[in-house]
Chains A and B, each alone.
Chain A
């Protein structure tokens, strides 16, 4: 049974770079035709797609965050990484990683079918 687990710092200071890991267990990142996405949720608010990476390494980002986001994979560790630079208080959120399929090169994203439990990140001076 595939499981996703996010990890990373809980508290950040403004202007720092946030780095989060998503460890995938119960299946291989590289031997699949899936995307691995990141979604965030500010406290008490809705969901925002950050971006996704395909098993081949192709990346797709939300234009609203594209200048600050990098998503990468380490297939040997079965991990997906998120970096978000120059964080501010507005980046305080629960960050989820999630699996999905689709054809993002054609703009199509299928449903996110497996989600991690999420990790809360607070940005405060």
Chain B
């Protein structure tokens, strides 16, 4: 199975400041079709996960443009350009390039 490692485990951010979350995979997530099936989710407290970024860098419908995804191969990053109070929760990366689907352990984002 592909192991997804997220860092840091937690992050405390002042509103308006940027935040960055790293996700590393144990194998390359570049598929032979040229796509990278790396997705990002936010799970707010007491809620189900919601999709933020799909296929490395595409924002899902309704996701603010302060969220961006980047990376290649085995190293990926989710960036929030200016953190807002509603961004608190746990962020997960997920790989869909290889079966079984696997998720990172999560990064908890809190507001200072």
Q: B48 near A110 (CB under 8 angstroms)?
A: no
Residue from the list B41, B50, B101 in contact with A109, Cβ < 8 A: B101
Contacts of B51 in A (CB 8 A): 111-113
Complex CA distance for A117 and B47, rounded to whole angstroms: 7
Complex CA distance for A73 and B49, rounded to whole angstroms: 23
Q: A111 near B96 (CB under 8 angstroms)?
A: yes
Contacts of B94 in A (CB 8 A): 47, 111-112
A47-B49, A115-B49, A115-B50 as given contacts; A108 in contact with B96, CB under 8 Å:
yes
Residue from the list B48, B55, B60, B103 in contact with A117, Cβ < 8 A: B48
Contacts of B39 in A (CB 8 A): 110-112
Q: Which of A8-16, A19-27, A56-64, A76-84 is the contact stretch?
A: A56-64
Q: A104 near B99 (CB under 8 angstroms)?
A: yes
Contacts of B31 in A (CB 8 A): 108
Q: A116 near B48 (CB under 8 angstroms)?
A: yes
- A43 contacts the other chain (CB 8 A): no
How many residues does chain B have at the interface if contact means C-beta atoms less than 8 Å apart? 28
| 19-72 of chain B: CB within 8 A of chain A | 31, 33, 35, 37, 39, 41, 47-51, 54-55, 60
Chain A interface mostly: strand
| 82-125 of chain A: CB within 8 A of chain B | 96, 102, 104, 107-113, 115-118
CB distance from A98 to the nearest CB of B (A): 8
Q: B103 near A47 (CB under 8 angstroms)?
A: yes
In the A-B complex, the 9 residue pairs with the smallest Cβ-Cβ separation, listed nearest first, are A109-B96, A111-B54, A49-B101, A111-B39, A115-B48, A47-B103, A62-B100, A107-B99, A109-B101
Q: Interface of A with B (CB < 8 Å)?
A: 37, 46-49, 60, 62-64, 96, 102, 104, 107-113, 115-118
Chain A to chain B contacts (Cβ below 8 Å), 24 pairs: A47-B92, A49-B103, A60-B99, A62-B101, A96-B48, A102-B96, A107-B97, A107-B98, A108-B35, A108-B37, A109-B37, A109-B96, A110-B37, A110-B39, A110-B54, A111-B55, A111-B60, A111-B94, A112-B39, A112-B41, A113-B54, A115-B48, A116-B48, A117-B47
